[in-house]
Structure 1
Amino acid sequence: MPNNKNITLFSHLLVWFVLFSMPYFLSYGQEQEMDRIKAHFWIPLCFSVIIFYSNYFVLVDRFLFPKKMLQFVTINTVMIMLFLLLKEYIEDTYFKEIAEKRLINSNRVEPPFKMAVYIQVLSYMAPLLFSIALKTTKRWIKTEAERKEAANIKLQSELQHLHYQLQPHFFFNSLNNIYAMVDLSPDQAKTSIHSLSKLMRYMLYETNVETILLSKEIDFMKRYIELMKLRVSDKTVVNYSFPVKETGIKIAPLLFISLIENAFKHGVSASKESLITIDMTQDDHKIRFVIDNNNYPKQTDDKSGSGIGLQNLVKRLELLYPQKHEFKTFLKNDRFLVTLEIETN
């Protein structure tokens, strides 16, 4: 902020220095009449400075923006008329010989009085209009910055809400799966609890960031898949493939886990053969994630989960990767196919 103020102050000083110096430099090398420069250039410029800064610092904010147009126009009209009269008084009192000398040495016809006044009024209108334009632009930039900041705060709040919403959902579903194993296989239940603790540690302490290395997210998904495989029967086959090479690519955390959860929830049957295929490929900055599984409709009395995972995913994709993702689902021949493509750059 101090640097911006210094730049603004320097810019204002530079502009006025150029304007005040211009008459002098334009007549450089010629016979210069300093009294003429003072009377016809510097004094009107001083009045222009007053008009500009009185509007820039006071009148525009106090009257124009609150839409007190009558007061704004009246004050500026009175100020301009006062400066016109004051300019005439100063010229007649202190620079009278300039006008007499010009009439003696020149055959030019002086412009009509009304035309001269009109030109002077226009010259005073210029700093007035420029101050309005500058102040309006500054206000628009400030408003736009505040709007973007508010939108960013809203975005971060919504993303944080979705993130916190996902954690209990994930934990609830995982506990349901472990609960089903307690009576049938206590040892597997113990192993699952240990694996779940590692997964929750990752979710609680490593995912509170905007982006995370894709390799870490892949490790998390592999652990989760292995955890889920403990609860399915031998009739279920789970195949998965992930990129092995470390590329340094980062992605928003916990984007794919809902899709894997959904595959195990709706793609596994206790009595029928089931196949879940999970495949992730990465080409430059583009990630493609595909899950293909059987489709076994959820029973009406099954209360595990509430469908919040996929809804959460859709909202997060819209917020995090607008115009940079493609999410599709297909149902064909009792197979459910999900594809998700994300541009990470």
Structure 2
Amino acid sequence: MNKNNKITILSHLLVWFVLFTMPYVLSYGQEQEISRVIAHFWIPLVFYAIIFYLNYFVLIESFLFTKKLVPFIAINLGTIALFLLIKEQIEATFFQDIMRKAPEKNDGVGPPLKMFIYIQMLSYMAPLLFSIAIKTTQRWVKTEAESKEAANFKLQSELQHLHYQLQPHFFFNSLNNIYSLVDISPEQAKKSIHSLSKLMRYMLYETNLEVVPLTKEIDFMKKYIDLMKLRVSDKTEVTYNFPTEESGIHVAPLLFISLIENAFKHGVSASKESHINISLTYKEKTVIFTIENDNFPKQSDDKSGSGIGLQNLDKRLKLLYANKHSFKTCLENERFLVHLEIETV
């Protein structure tokens, strides 16, 4: 039996204990006639408990939640009527002295018979309504929990899909870059393959966590930038500024690499001077990442890559940092500017 079930059972026992001891609590210091307590309080409480648990464990699930309303009402009305008759028989058989002392229900002194029956019916309706309220609340809580679990599972599945989608995309683009070096500079191509193996090791074995230290992401970006610098000409100037101290900040892995890929893909020209400036800073728990690069749009006949990098990033940001990020891009003076802010936990 788990902890929650034990707490539920103890709660039920405590409630019924309080109800059964209520006559003595309310009449503290006064003499209490036990037969009157049994006849007018404990016997009805037993019937209340039967109605409550009959609905709680059987009727509500079998009839009310399955929208069989007529049988549900009929069974409960029949049960209440039966208990009223049994109660009258018990009082007439075992508590005759008390019944003699009580005024007749239709002699004009007490309430009219119809009013008496109405009040009795209402008292038996209370445990029924209470069981419906509890069961409905439990079902709502369970439904909400299942809904959140399903949403979380969907989120994790989508994130995992995006993560796996990013890896071959990254690998494909890197291989394209290395391929371009094979004829021009075999030694650089060898170095690039060695650097790529280190990057892939990080991607395969260290990015399966929800978050990673920012310092590891920075180290990964530095290695990738150094790899990409091997294939660009002397006309391309690449500068980056990353913090060197341990910040204690954790971020989702591989968030910034698509932006760096994009800068090298569209910000470098073989014949013109180009400049790529990359910067990452943080203020308290907010990470600020910016890139500025020249704009050399991809030619229509250039089929390298698949263009999913920035789309992938945008989807991941919306899933991982909903309402906790700002992602802006713009073209200004032939320079492509990217500004990304992330509020980390």
- Normalising by the residue count of structure 1, what TM-score does the alignment of the two structures yield? 0.98
Structure-1 residue corresponding to 2:166: 166
- 1:319-343 deviation per Cα after TM superposition (whole angstroms, max 9, x unaligned): 1010000100011111100010000
Q: Note the C-alpha offset of 1:103.
A: 4.1
Alpha-carbon distance between aligned partners in 2 of 1:204 and 1:293, rounded to the nearest angstrom: 29
Q: Secondary structure at the match of 2:289?
A: strand
Structure-1 residue corresponding to 2:88: 88
Alpha-carbon distance between aligned partners in 2 of 1:27 and 1:201, rounded to the nearest angstrom: 77
Q: Secondary structure at the match of 1:220?
A: helix
Taking only aligned residues, the RMSD between alpha carbons, in angstroms, comes to 1.3
- 1:141-168 deviation per Cα after TM superposition (whole angstroms, max 9, x unaligned): 1111111111111111111110100000
Q: Secondary structure at the match of 2:287?
A: strand
Structure-2 residue corresponding to 1:69: 69
Alpha-carbon distance between aligned partners in 2 of 1:156 and 1:169, rounded to the nearest angstrom: 20
Structure-1 residue corresponding to 2:16: 16
Q: Note the C-alpha offset of 1:251.
A: 0.5
Alpha-carbon distance between aligned partners in 1 of 2:62 and 2:290, rounded to the nearest angstrom: 60
- 1:197-244 deviation per Cα after TM superposition (whole angstroms, max 9, x unaligned): 000000001101100000000000000000000000000001100111
Structure-1 residue corresponding to 2:279: 279
Question: Are 2:248 and 1:248 aligned?
Answer: yes
Question: Are 2:306 and 1:314 aligned?
Answer: no
Identical columns (%):
72
Alpha-carbon distance between aligned partners in 1 of 2:138 and 2:26, rounded to the nearest angstrom: 33
- 1:122-149 deviation per Cα after TM superposition (whole angstroms, max 9, x unaligned): 1110000010010011111111111111
Q: Note the C-alpha offset of 1:30.
A: 1.2
Q: Secondary structure at the match of 1:301?
A: coil
Equivalent pair of 1:242/1:281 in contact (CA under 8 Å):
yes
- Normalising by the residue count of structure 2, what TM-score does the alignment of the two structures yield? 0.98
Equivalent pair of 1:324/1:342 in contact (CA under 8 Å):
yes
Alpha-carbon distance between aligned partners in 2 of 1:315 and 1:102, rounded to the nearest angstrom: 76
Matches within 5 A, 1:283-302: 283-302=283-302
Alpha-carbon distance between aligned partners in 2 of 1:171 and 1:13, rounded to the nearest angstrom: 63
Alpha-carbon distance between aligned partners in 1 of 2:336 and 2:103, rounded to the nearest angstrom: 97
Aligned length, in residue pairs: 343
Structure 1 unaligned segments of length 5 or more: list them: none
- 1:80-107 deviation per Cα after TM superposition (whole angstroms, max 9, x unaligned): 0001111111111111211222449xxx
Equivalent pair of 2:207/2:253 in contact (CA under 8 Å):
yes
Question: Are 2:183 and 1:190 aligned?
Answer: no
- 1:51-77 deviation per Cα after TM superposition (whole angstroms, max 9, x unaligned): 000000000000000000011000000
Letter of the 1:170 counterpart: F
Letter of the 1:129 counterpart: L
Alpha-carbon distance between aligned partners in 2 of 1:64 and 1:103, rounded to the nearest angstrom: 40
Letter of the 2:36 counterpart: R
Equivalent pair of 1:24/1:37 in contact (CA under 8 Å):
no
Question: Are 2:140 and 1:119 aligned?
Answer: no
Range moving further from structure 2, 113-122 or 124-133 = 113-122
Structure-2 residue corresponding to 1:6: 6
